[in-house]
Amino acid sequence: MSAKKYLIVTGTVTYAIKGRDILRKQGIKANVERILSDGANTGCGYSVAVYSSPNKAVELLKLGGVKILEVREKLNNIS
């Protein structure tokens, strides 16, 4: 079974941790994930993974001063 997850790319671990904490305080399940370069301009870095629509999360992060580089959609395998 697969479910979508969204990686909100912040670039730095500091922004990712700050973002995770902001979202958790608002009741949104969020985790910090290390991402590797995939040939895109963002290179290696960190992201905040969320498991529902990222729109509200992105809004909250921007209000909290978290720099967002991009949002990626991924499939999350659930067993």
Q: What pLDDT, in 10s, does the model give residues 1-24?
A: 457 899 999 989 999 999 999 999
Burial of 73 (0-12, 13-18, 19+ CB in 10 A): exposed
The continuous run of DSSP H or E covering 61 comes out as: helix 54-63
Write out pLDDT tens, residues 23-78.
999 999 999 999 876 555 545 699 999 999 999 999 999 999 999 999 999 876 65
pTM, two decimal places: 0.84
**Quick check: 79 pLDDT over 90?**
no
Rounded Cα distance between 79 and 19, Å, is: 27
Tell me the angle at which helices 13-25 and 54-63 cross, rounded to the nearest 10 degrees: 110
Alpha-carbon span 53 to 29, nearest angstrom: 11
